[in-house]
Structures are given as C-alpha cells and as structure tokens.
Chain A
Amino acid sequence: GAVVSQHPSWVICKSGTSVKIECRSLDFQATTMFWYRQFPKQSLMLMATSNEGSKATYEQGVEKDKFLINHASLTLSTLTVTSAHPEDSSFYICSAEPQPSTDTQYFGPGTRLTVL
C-alpha cells in the first residue's frame, strides 16, 4: 500500500516550452502533496506544498508563476514548469501525506526533466 506514482518518469523538452508532471496517490487519498526539486549530487529541496482545493504554498525563492501547481483531487497533483529553460533541468519528486495526517510522506519515483 501507500504507492505514489509520477508521470512522466522522464521528459526532454525545448527551451521555452511548458511541461506538466503528474503526481498520483494510487491507493490512498492525500489532502496534502509536496513538490521537491533535486539537482545532481544534492539534497531534496522543498518547492511547494499543495493542498487539495486550495492554492499551493510556495517556499521562499520559488516562482509561483513559473511552477504552477494544481491539486484538483485527493489523488492527483500536477506541477507545470512554464517556459522551461536549461537551468530548470532537474529531478522533480513529489510526496503525498495520507488522510488523516500522520506526518508520514510517501514519495514518488521522480521525474527527470531535461531542457535543451
């Protein structure tokens, strides 16, 4: 149980295009989902907290207009990287916290984004 999936697992796009990444909790409902970014040989950095039915809360330094987050249902959150540039190339990882909240987060397998 407690499986989180991400789609796609990897994506290559041209500079200036937008890319959407999906995060799904497969066997549980998640009021809260989190989006992280991880550069090579670095740790995970929290980008934003996504709550179902409300606006996401972004961490300091993360541009909300560039990284659009939608959490339309209790099992799906999406991250759209708008007008992607090479510096946005990274490993994007989501996690989901089951209802009711127990502090436990289940992580997805990650999405490798490469912007040419």
Chain B
Amino acid sequence: GESVGLHLPTLSVQEGDNSIINCAYSNSASDYFIWYKQESGKGPQFIIDIRSNMDKRQGQRVTVLLNKTVKHLSLQIAATQPGDSAVYFCAEMVAAGNKLTFGGGTRVLVKP
C-alpha cells in the first residue's frame, strides 16, 4: 500500500553543472541495466542502458558506469538543463528473463 511521508532522495543541481545519480542494485545475477527518466504524471522514458560485459557507456550528454564488484550503477548527466528535472530510476534485468526490477528513484531538481 501507500507509504505516507515517503520521500525520494533529491539531488539539487545548478543549471550547467554535471549531475551524478547513484544506484545500488540488488541481484548479482543481473546482467542488463537501464536508466529511466520519469516526469510527473508520465511513464518512464528510456535514457541509456548497459550490459554486464561493459563498465562504461556514453550517450548524448549522459554516461552510465557499472561496477559489478560492488553492484553499483551511476548515471552522469553533463551540463544539466532545466528539462532534466525529473525522477530517475535505475532498473536491472537477469539474463534469460525479461522482468525489470526498479530501484527506488532519485529526484533531480535543476536550479536556474
């Protein structure tokens, strides 16, 4: 059910600065990881993905880093813009399965 008073971790960033969002994933058997952006009242939007045979992948203004040793995933956003304000979720998937498990989410607030 709904948890009253639950707060998402929030990252406040000055416009133009770089943002780093962290995620600890739970299953050592996961081999596919995705970052999603969710704006208020909308569904998740794919940002970038990475497979476990890689430790870094770059997209346009975004970079995902994977550290399998400590089960840690991060998303770096370069030159953060007001349009980047949203909640960001990491998600993991186990090989040979197709179920996504989502992390708790981080809210990014971009200050002009």
Which residues of A are in contact with B by a Cβ distance under 8 Å?
Answer: 4, 6, 32, 34, 39-46, 49, 87, 90-91, 93, 95, 97, 101, 103-110, 112
Contact = CB atoms under 8 A, between A and B. Distances in A.
A48 to B, nearest CB: 10
Interface string B36-69: 1000011111100100000000000000000000
Given A87-B1, A103-B93, A107-B44, A41 B103 contact: no
B7 A41 contact: yes
Contacts of A44: 44, 89, 102
B102 A41 contact: no
B69 to A, nearest CB: 23
A32 B7 contact: no
5 contacts: A4-B43, A34-B100, A39-B1, A41-B3, A44-B102
Given A46-B101, A97-B98, A40 B2 contact: yes
A43, A106, A110, most chain B CB atoms within 10 A: A43
Interface of chain B, helix or strand or loop or mixed?
loop
A91 B42 CA distance: 9
Contacts of A97: 98
Given A42-B104, A93-B44, 4 more contacts: A43-B89, A49-B98, A105-B98, A107-B46
Contacts of A103: 32, 93, 98
